[in-house]
């Protein structure tokens, strides 16, 4: 897609801080990092989100996320990772080209992936199980 910023970054049309590249992916540093080392796994081909990714490419992307995180751990001596992958505006996706966030975490830093825990009531559990099973 010619007007997609991540297509341009992944394919070298715009210079960026590239950590890694192979035939299918580029891994770049996020321009607005949530922590030191925050990186993005970008497929070179345009797919808007996880649902539009071919299965094999999606599998490759998550294997690559593991590889990049392992190397980042050695390089930056971080203590953990948040691996985040947003799909859809409702989930906070702002760039509609599939990407995986690799966010190194350091002891003592604040939680950034957090939610207010709800309650799984009996009614809710039955409703979800029923709807999920009939959506097969
Ligand atoms: P999301 O909210 O999951 O769609 O995340 C989009 C991410 O892309 C954000 O963390 C942005 O900081 C990052 N981003 C947007 N434009 C650029 C850019 N030109 N170079 C690097 N990262 C970018
Ligand atoms: Zn794109």
Say if ligand 1 is within 6 A of residue 86 CB: yes
The DSSP line for the chain is -TT-HHHHHHTTSS---EEEE-SSEEEEE-SS-SSTT-EEEEESS--SSGGGS-HHHHHHHHHHHHHHHHHHHHHH--SEEEEE---SGGGT--S-S--EEEEEE-TTPPP-S--------HHHHHHHHHHHHHT-
Nearby residues for ligand 2 (ion, Cβ within 5 Å): 1, 4, 6-7, 46, 97
Q: Which domain holds residue 70?
A: 5-134
pTM, entire model: 0.96
Indicate the number of domains in the chain: 1
What pLDDT, on a 0 to 100 scale, did the predictor assign at position 136?
A: 79
Stretch 106-135: mean pLDDT, rounded? 96
What pLDDT, on a 0 to 100 scale, did the predictor assign at position 22?
A: 98
Here the CATH number for the domain that contains residue 46 is: 3.30.428.10
């Amino acid at each position: 897609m010619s007007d997609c910023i991540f297509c341009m970054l992944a394919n070298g049309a715009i210079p960026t801080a590239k950590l890694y590249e192979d035939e299918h992916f580029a891994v770049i540093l996020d321009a607005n990092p949530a922590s030191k080392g925050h990186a993005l796994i970008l497929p070179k081909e345009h797919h808007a989100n996880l649902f539009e990714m071919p299965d094999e490419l999606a599998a490759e992307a998550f294997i690559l996320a593991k590889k990049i995180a392992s190397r980042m751990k050695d390089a930056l001596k971080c203590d953990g990772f948040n691996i985040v992958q947003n799909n859809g505006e409702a989930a906070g996706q702002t760039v509609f080209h599939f990407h995986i966030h690799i966010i190194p975490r350091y002891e003592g830093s604040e939680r950034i992936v957090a939610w207010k825990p709800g309650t799984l009531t009996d009614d809710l559990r039955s409703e979800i199980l029923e709807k999920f099973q009939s959506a097969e």
